[in-house]
Amino acid sequence: MGVRLVVQRVKQARVTVGGELVGSIGTGLLIFVGVAKADTPQDADYLAAKLVDLRVFEDPQGRMNLPALEAGGAFLVVSQFTLLANCDKGRRPSFDAAADPVKGEELYEYFVSQLKKHNIAVSTGRFRAMMEVNLINDGPVTFVIDSRP
């Protein structure tokens, strides 16, 4: 399966935990990250490189042709193991494919560190916390990206 991302282009986004603001951005990408059991740093490397160059912001002609950095954007990265849910059977999702919390946090933090190497502002949520995510979608423009098919 690989690391799974849900990426939303936003005008602004913020994450609070227990009423405390822990991360926020203006224009940019809100990136939800789900880590699977078999994921590796190479999966995170691949996705970080893809996101930095993903041309989803409008150029002066109104075409999606600019990456976040060129558009003056930032990244807000939020862990979300539920992206790995399997809802094929029954009524309760199975999270068997999701990495255990230790591995999930390790790879999530590694992914964030790889994004930061590209000189773009990166903000985060708080791993394993009950978070409230508020956003203003821009478009809406939303993508699901997996590190492996």
What span, in angstroms and rounded, lies between the C-alpha atoms of 86 and 137? Answer: 26
Given pLDDT bands bounded at 50, 70 and 90, which one contains residue 2?
Answer: confident
Three-state DSSP state, 28: strand
111: in domain: yes
Asked if the structure places residue 57 within a domain, the reply is yes
78 occurs within a structural domain: yes
Residues with active-site annotation: 80-82
Alpha helix locations (H) across the chain? Answer: 41-53, 101-116
pLDDT digits (tens, 9 = 90+) for 11-20: 999 999 999 9
Q: What is the pLDDT of residue 71?
A: 96
Q: Residue 96: inside a domain, yes or no? A: yes
> Residue 141 contacts by C-beta under 8 Å, 6 or more apart in sequence?
8, 9, 56, 64
DSSP 91: S
| Owning domain of residue 116 | 4-141
CATH of the domain at 109: 3.50.80.10
| Cβ neighbours around 4 below 10 Å, total | 24
Q: How confident is the model at residue 146 (pLDDT cuts 50, 70, 90)?
A: very high
pTM of the model as a whole = 0.96
Integer Cα distance of 94 and 107 in angstroms: 21
Looking at the domain assignment, is residue 148 inside a domain?
A: no
Contact 13, 141 (CB under 8 A): no
8-state DSSP, 2: -
pLDDT in tens, 55-113: 999 999 999 999 999 999 999 999 999 999 999 999 999 999 999 999 999 999 999 99
**Does pLDDT of 7 surpass 80?**
yes
Q: For 38-67, write each residue's pLDDT tens digit.
A: 999 999 999 999 999 999 999 999 999 999
- Please say if the pLDDT value at position 3 is more than 80: yes
Q: What number of residues does the chain have?
A: 149
